[in-house]
Structure 1
Amino acid sequence: MAQPIYEWRLPAREWREQDLFNLPEDGNRYEIIDGSLHVTPPPGFGHQELADELRAALRAATPTGWRVIRGAGLRAAGSNLIPDVTVLKPTAPADGTWIEAADVALVVEVESPSSRRHDRFTKPALYAEVGIPAYWRVERGDFGPVIYRYELVKGVHYNLIGTVGPDDPVQINQPWPMPLDPSAWPR
């Protein structure tokens, strides 16, 4: 069966959140960064499995009222982003598509070749600008995943507070006390 053809209609202004609802549900990830539309292909199976493992590890230690969501929409500094994993504070709305940054304690991005630059530079800057307290970036390496853990400093940028690899499980305290051991996660 032939795929339906989608006719792109560029807005006569910057892209806005409402424009996302008019795009096809074709598996691509559509995000708006500073008024520009960014399209990335669907993440691969390994990427999705790794994000699921991170979510499971966070959820296993989640205090009452906190939630760990995959693929939630996040409003950030005139942008609409979709982190791989988002930790919501107990004050966050019970349901919805887009979340406000004030309701987020941590965002996690799992790098893919198509997202590497945004995950290392663009997205952390936007997350810091809106005051998200913690950011994790996960690289998939030959020996297993490595988690780069960052905390917000002075409300303007992130400082690296540590890395966790497959050979160095640790006990962490952010966003809550929990063990973090990526040794059994997919590469």
Structure 2
Amino acid sequence: MTVAVFDHEGPWTEEEYLALGETSQRVELFDGSLHVTPAPTPRHQNISGELRVLFRGPARDAGLHVLEGVNVRLKPGRIPIPDLVITGPIDFDALNVEACDVRLVCEIISPSNAATDKVLKMHYYAAAGIEWYLLVEQATAALHLYRKRGAHYVVQSVTEPGAVLVLTEPVKATIRPEDLLP
């Protein structure tokens, strides 16, 4: 991958991006530019895994799926890799999950890319029409739940450790932030 990335000239197309194949780092495509981040920390992975376990049963009950670290095509040339998504029926052999199939997108805020999750991705996910956005603070596992209203997200709730987030959409789930931490 390194040679292909550094020898590339000009903006990246979606086809060129997908031709990179699977990589050991998260490589996302934003309007012709690649955004590369190192692998998540063990704490980050633990939170993601715990959330997936919490969502798995309720998602199945609702006829939905929970996936970690998949390409989500928001529009041509814009493909982030969220930490976790809850989707409706999808093609499990496709290279991307289409934004129209995503019911909830979750990002676990890493100190190195907090602005990307809180500003850039939030804007892009809303513009793509994804109704629910869950942001999780890595240090405390505080949960910030947003719902799309018009063209933007608005805060639905903020759940700090010691409190409980009760979701009724897109799945029914109860989350205690402290249960997500190692």
Gaps of 5+ in 1: none
How has the CA–CA distance of structure 1 residues 25 and 68 changed in structure 2, closer, same or farther, with 3 Å as cutoff?
closer
1:16 paired residue number = 13
SS in 2 for 1:61: helix
1:86 paired residue number = 85
Report Cα offsets for 1:34-91 as digits up to 9, x if no partner. 221111111111111111111111113222420000011011133111000011113x
Answering whether residue 172 of structure 2 is matched by residue 177 of structure 1, we say: yes
Q: Which has the larger radius of gyration?
A: 1
SS in 1 for 2:145: strand
Aligned residues: CA RMSD: 1.9
Number of aligned pairs?
Answer: 179
Supply the distance in 1 between the matched residues of 2:152 and 2:160 (Cα, whole angstroms): 23
1:120 paired residue number = 118
Q: TM-score, normalised by structure 1?
A: 0.87
Question: Is the Cα contact below 8 Å between 1:88 and 1:104 reproduced in 2?
Answer: yes
Which structure's residues are more often helix, by fraction? 2
1:147 paired residue number = 143
Gaps of 5+ in 2: none
1:41 paired residue number = 38
SS in 2 for 1:160: strand
**Greater relative contact order, per chain length (Cα 8 Å cut-off, separation 6+):** 2
Pick one of 159, 163, 179 that aligns with 1:164. 159
* Mean CA deviation greater in 171-180 or 74-83: 171-180
Task: Provide the identity percentage.
Answer: 31
Structure 1 residue 114: Cα displacement: 2.2
1:186 paired residue number = 181
